[in-house]
Amino acid sequence: SKATGSRYSVLGFDANGKMIVDSGWQTGKTYTLGKDVASYRLLFSYSDNRNLSSADTLVFEKCLSIIPASARDDWELPIM
């Protein structure tokens, strides 16, 4: 698939906008954010640093499932 070789990083921010989480590059299926995270930013890349197209980002979007903290103890972000 086009998502093969992809990786992601999660940056989490507190209510004041201060970054409190930097996951580093991940390739696993699930990443969990703690309850102190008020907002987050997802970064996508390929492990071989090839160009990431707009079409590629649409593939990534279809692979995401975000479960809010109200539904679980922590936020869970399954990836690909």
Phi then psi dihedrals of residue 70, to 5 deg: -65, -20
Check residue 73 and report its DSSP letter. Answer: S
Residue spans of the domains in the chain: they are 6-78
Q: What pTM did the predictor assign? A: 0.71
For residue 56, give the 3-state DSSP assignment: helix
53-74 per-position pLDDT tens digit: 888 888 888 877 777 666 555 5
Residues 6+ apart with CB under 8 A from 35: 69, 73, 74
pLDDT at 72: 55
* Whole-angstrom distance, CA of residue 63 vs CA of residue 79: 6
pLDDT at 80: 43
43 within 8 A of 8, measured Cβ to Cβ: yes
8-48 per-position pLDDT tens digit: 899 999 999 999 999 999 887 788 888 888 999 989 888 89
Q: Which tokens belong to 43? A: 């970064």
